Structure 1
């Protein structure tokens, strides 16, 4: 039994969203402010019993808040028609105002099979179809009496006149008019429903939320006790010690003498959990070791504040307080303890919930990359080792390392490029790509690339694909010189080479993020054996670049490529940039190196003596070449530098007043624009 779909309506930026939930782990990714945390918050507000999880006006999608103001004004028109005796028009307008009153909803689709225990969900099974193994639960926040809300809203505005602030009135009165309700809805007939009590829904669905912003602190004092308090809570939920109810004064002396025994009991209680930490690498990296829980009895703090975490020092003689441990390990310990506590609370619940969903927000916080990979790699197996129940995990993350480890099928991408946020399922992307001619090879390449490289395109505002090392090293400087606006955006730079950029085509289309491909003209002479490289001005020269031939602009000859307009280099959100002459009728580069040399011929001529690669220039153009000589022989110089591209990039960095080659300048300027 598992939740398979969650449909969200009118909650913050999620105006109309449909998210497929993986049977084990769903990884929610996307740029900042793309609705990832909002999705988690909605579950908390509907299914958590926390007093802090209350709805407020700002939880409505902003456009729907505006609908409330529109409804107020329309209600005023209805009142005017009623006062004039036109009840028919007045009633029509009132009906329209009610339709404008928004509601927040979360509809969950749940699948089960014949082997599942159906007793916990019997109240939500509304169909008699033996072949239907689906139920739906719809949680809704709506105005209980929308007409009364609008009448009061209108009257308040009428009384206040021009001083009326409708937004403040709605904020203040929101909880008085909007109430959460829960219904079971037949999956085969929406008109068949049954109202559910909140307690009944929470008995079916158990949820736990582990947020990123836990109050950890690594100050070297024994004041920060987030972990200690968490262990205390874990102990309270696990212990059946009846002495808790005894008078503190009566047991103070006994507790002091029993401290050693309590330590042994703590070891027994927490040993299974502390052993679990080794699964996630704790204890393998010196000098960090698994913690030990000890009792520090402080009189009146018997039931509260009497537990501490301590870590052994280097010689194991002098225990150190919890604040001396790093934030990363504290975060990991806290998270795993919360996971285990959730599993045990579900197992101990009576009746036991039919469904369990664990939400973990940005578990990578404070974890270094290797710990991030270890966490995402082991979390599923860890849960399976602790329970036979199907605990579904929903993780929001900005970690490229976690994405690389998870694979496409588990990723849900929140696309915020349009007016409304769209949720894209990468398992669907995976299935669609497989259907293409070389789809399996493309998927294998992308998955291996994500494992081997830091691939952060899922979180980027803009993406740049580049060919080689020289471009990668110089790109930050080029952005600073000609596209300063990009420095304030999250730009993912991916080094792919000319032969593999095409492999990213479907993924970039799926992500719908603005992307610039910086590639080379790669002119070759088709009349020569093996189509050897040649100068771009060679008659009938072609390109060997698969990106230019198979993708953008989809042309083969150098002449046609150089004649392509800017519009011809753009397809939707993707633009290609390749070498063009720096000036009309001037020479054109074949690669980044000769294009840079042409663009900076004067600077290179002036600073030739300072170059580490001076000898490669001298070999081609002599000791004191002119700007025109360097410009004319740029192709030959670049050929001499073929095996020294990284050194050439470092030489370029040390030059003063160098220019960005025109083709890159134009591409970056395009990428800067919204």
Structure 2
């Protein structure tokens, strides 16, 4: 049997079925800390609630059944053939070492058991389904008999219980019960497997589970008060008082200090400083108080009989200024705890509560459960980014076990969070991603283990992704969809373009990742692993072919990794690339209106940028070459249909990906109209807003060409290409100048608008149009409220 490295018995995984959104999920837990992430209402908190309920803490509710099972409950009550009452289940798996077998003797499935996994299934099942249905029918008959029939032979309303679901709403506890089973890891999953029920033992299944696992919760709603507070507010002093009463050395046990209390406030304060020393020292591991934050001290109100138990007996104070030097008896000025900010209150509160829970577990003398699991909900509340990172980095050191406890016991933490800072502090390994079902009217989630992605991904690509997400953000794990954009310009302008082209997207949660055409394909594995709906907005990046270079080596005048097939086209004349593309194009002066007309156009070299319509042009964009639509020439990219530009979702858990890049549109200048395409966003914008951009008032955009009225369309397009690719053209200045313009005066480039409309249709479909009927008169408000109450709680309860 394999030995667990440096840790005792641990909770290895959970499998939850038919509980809320968790219709059928399996969750692997890390031996130290697991981080649950996902969009709102994806089921993260439900895991903790499931553990609470299945371990006998709290009462199940009819709505704890997965929503898809409600129809089965109603159908069973109506005696529909082949329908059974549903059962909620959780499988709890422990990983043990050879020294732990005596603890789990009740969970060994047979004498032939081998391995390191033992498991228990806890089911919430009907006591007697047929008897439940009979009681429902009798209750239904009584309710109907109590409602008189009108002259038309009908009842004025349908009384509760209208269905078996109605009946179980208030009677679930009487009709269902918890049952415990021993699981055989070698047979779980087999169609004919029936686990052995834990009955007839010296201990009940609940007692066996309680002897192995202690679960505690640090909930998100901590209600710390800045002011006098209300009924739900809790001051930090009272939290510390409770901690003192439970865990620290009591005044009655410290005779020396007890004697001093009667004569001196100084002695009492020394006592409090001593007993809280370890606690306050634990805070220092999280960087508190830091450089400029006030120190925490505990001061007594000089009432020995009520030191910490009284509301005003002893209070937390914040000392201003540095700590006095040894021998200096000057008292520093202090402020009560309510004068500090919510962030540090929350930090101190969490540390004290974690220490409290940890100490309570360690204080169990007889049959202490070997596994202590703590759920921490949203620790980021009120904490700034750096403090969030420090907390998640140091939380396990707060709960560190010492001595023999390290080999016989284990502390594990589960954190649910929406904080990107917490995520990139820990990396991929501990992340468990909760992904909501995309099927309409289906309220379920599945769970993706990012440690599997870490282990299965190429190390170089994995390292790139981790470093990138640390440098930017990780809200990829909380979004409805992702938009991968070419660069800073798209990132700045996209919110405005969404407002113009796809306004319904404003009510969704999008994450924007600035990835560039050369690196976009590196996100392919992560996007597909997460199964995320994704729009890629990228550039054609047209260049002259052919150029041949070794993979990863820069081609002449091109970026690293740009590999071209000689069959892609023949070299020919082209406007030279600027510094932005690694070319040797002539720099354009800083004056917005410098005349480029007389610049001699050099002969193009393979790998240098060119206008999109150049004959035989290739693309240097690795996303277009390696991901979608996997084309190497501009001609092939323009010939690609919608199907080729889309990576379809074959299953509910698959990623749906669409790429958007520049394509030819009609461009008019004076009397001329041609079908043209830009090479980059800036070129595409200039072409599709050509007259507007050439106005003298648009000079800050840097797209105005001098003497443009004297130029034909071809000359103007060539000059625009040179301008945008010139070394003096600032993309950021362009985007900021565009933001200063009236958004109604310009149009979104067609390729972006079309891509955003596609994404809008996927995650924010339009509401069905209302019938063109005359508006109905408003109902009487009293009647409306009465109808709602009747519908929700039933007539019996209203009466």
TM range (shorter): 0.7 to 0.9
Give the counterpart of 1:54 among 33, 53, 59. 59
* Structure 2 residue aligned with 1:540: 616
Q: 1:447, 1:467 → 2: CA distance? A: 19
Structure 1, residues 490-516: CA drift from partner, whole Å, max 9, x if none? 110000111111000011011112111
Secondary structure of the residue aligned to 1:464 is strand
Give the counterpart of 2:283 among 242, 267, 277. 277
Secondary structure of the residue aligned to 1:520 is coil
| Structure 2 residues without counterparts, runs of 5 or longer | 1-8, 145-157, 188-193, 323-330, 546-570, 572-603, 649-655, 668-673, 764-799
Is the aligned partner of 1:228 residue 2:237? yes
Is contact 1:291-1:311 (8 Å) kept? Answer: yes
The farther-off stretch of 398-407 and 306-315 is 306-315
Q: 2:137, 2:264 → 1: CA distance? A: 68
* Structure 1 residue aligned with 2:461: 442
Structure 1, residues 417-444: CA drift from partner, whole Å, max 9, x if none? 33431111111122332xxxxx221111
Is contact 2:694-2:708 (8 Å) kept? Answer: no
* Structure 2 residue aligned with 1:571: 647
The farther-off stretch of 662-671 and 411-420 is 411-420
Is contact 2:701-2:738 (8 Å) kept? Answer: no
Q: 1:307, 1:45 → 2: CA distance? A: 37
Q: 1:36, 1:302 → 2: CA distance? A: 37
Per-residue deviation at 1:405? 1.5
Secondary structure of the residue aligned to 2:700 is coil
Structure 1, residues 384-417: CA drift from partner, whole Å, max 9, x if none? 2666232111111111111112121211111113
Q: 1:206, 1:126 → 2: CA distance? A: 23
How many residues are treated as equivalent by the alignment?
A: 634
Secondary structure of the residue aligned to 1:583 is strand
Per-residue deviation at 1:168? 3.8
* Structure 1 residue aligned with 2:597: none
* Structure 2 residue aligned with 1:265: 271
Give the counterpart of 1:45 among 40, 53, 58. 53
Is contact 1:14-1:421 (8 Å) kept? Answer: yes
Is contact 1:582-1:661 (8 Å) kept? Answer: no
* Structure 2 residue aligned with 1:79: none
Is the aligned partner of 1:206 residue 2:230? no
The Cα RMSD (Å) is 2.8
Structure 1, residues 191-214: CA drift from partner, whole Å, max 9, x if none? 434243423322211111011111
Normalising by structure 2, what TM-score? 0.75
Q: 1:459, 1:380 → 2: CA distance? A: 25
The farther-off stretch of 493-502 and 317-326 is 317-326
Secondary structure of the residue aligned to 1:647 is helix
* Structure 1 residue aligned with 2:500: 481
* Structure 1 residue aligned with 2:351: 336
Per-residue deviation at 1:217? 2.1
Is the aligned partner of 1:398 residue 2:418? yes
* Structure 1 residue aligned with 2:380: 364
Distance 1:509 1:642, change over 3 A: farther
Is contact 1:463-1:494 (8 Å) kept? Answer: yes
Is the aligned partner of 1:120 residue 2:103? yes
Is contact 1:34-1:416 (8 Å) kept? Answer: yes
The farther-off stretch of 418-427 and 495-504 is 418-427
* Structure 1 residue aligned with 2:681: 592
Is contact 2:214-2:371 (8 Å) kept? Answer: yes
Is the aligned partner of 1:6 residue 2:14? yes
Is contact 1:589-1:595 (8 Å) kept? Answer: yes
Q: 2:388, 2:15 → 1: CA distance? A: 29
Distance 1:647 1:256, change over 3 A: same
| Structure 1 residues without counterparts, runs of 5 or longer | 76-92, 245-251, 434-438
* Structure 2 residue aligned with 1:86: none
Secondary structure of the residue aligned to 2:17 is strand
Q: 1:484, 1:44 → 2: CA distance? A: 42
The farther-off stretch of 381-390 and 147-156 is 381-390
Secondary structure of the residue aligned to 1:567 is coil
Secondary structure of the residue aligned to 1:384 is coil
Is contact 1:222-1:322 (8 Å) kept? Answer: no
Distance 1:422 1:645, change over 3 A: same
Higher helix share: 1
* Structure 2 residue aligned with 1:602: 691
Distance 1:482 1:630, change over 3 A: farther
Give the counterpart of 1:495 among 496, 514, 519. 514
* Structure 1 residue aligned with 2:757: 669
Secondary structure of the residue aligned to 2:400 is helix
Is the aligned partner of 1:309 residue 2:310? no
* Structure 1 residue aligned with 2:41: 33
Q: 1:304, 1:555 → 2: CA distance? A: 75
Is the aligned partner of 1:150 residue 2:159? no
* Structure 2 residue aligned with 1:429: 453
* Structure 2 residue aligned with 1:654: 740
Distance 1:369 1:268, change over 3 A: same
Structure 1, residues 255-292: CA drift from partner, whole Å, max 9, x if none? 77575444332222211110011111101141333343
* Structure 2 residue aligned with 1:80: none
Per-residue deviation at 1:5? 1.2
Normalising by structure 1, what TM-score? 0.88
Secondary structure of the residue aligned to 2:506 is helix
Is the aligned partner of 1:407 residue 2:416? no
Per-residue deviation at 1:153? 1.5
Give the counterpart of 1:69 among 49, 70, 74. 74
* Structure 2 residue aligned with 1:461: 480
Secondary structure of the residue aligned to 1:532 is coil
- Larger gyration radius, structure 1 or structure 2: 2
Q: 2:252, 2:238 → 1: CA distance? A: 20
Secondary structure of the residue aligned to 1:132 is coil
Distance 1:431 1:221, change over 3 A: closer
Is contact 1:211-1:361 (8 Å) kept? Answer: yes
Distance 1:453 1:59, change over 3 A: same
Secondary structure of the residue aligned to 1:54 is coil
* Structure 1 residue aligned with 2:114: 131
Is contact 1:520-1:545 (8 Å) kept? Answer: yes
Per-residue deviation at 1:623? 7.9
Is the aligned partner of 1:325 residue 2:322? no
* Structure 2 residue aligned with 1:551: 627
The farther-off stretch of 403-412 and 217-226 is 217-226
Secondary structure of the residue aligned to 1:32 is coil
The farther-off stretch of 63-72 and 126-135 is 126-135
Distance 1:127 1:288, change over 3 A: farther
Give the counterpart of 2:196 among 185, 192, 195. 192
Secondary structure of the residue aligned to 1:409 is coil
* Structure 2 residue aligned with 1:218: 226
Distance 1:253 1:290, change over 3 A: closer
Is contact 2:56-2:206 (8 Å) kept? Answer: no
Q: 1:257, 1:312 → 2: CA distance? A: 24
Secondary structure of the residue aligned to 2:753 is helix
Q: 2:534, 2:623 → 1: CA distance? A: 14
Is contact 1:127-1:188 (8 Å) kept? Answer: no
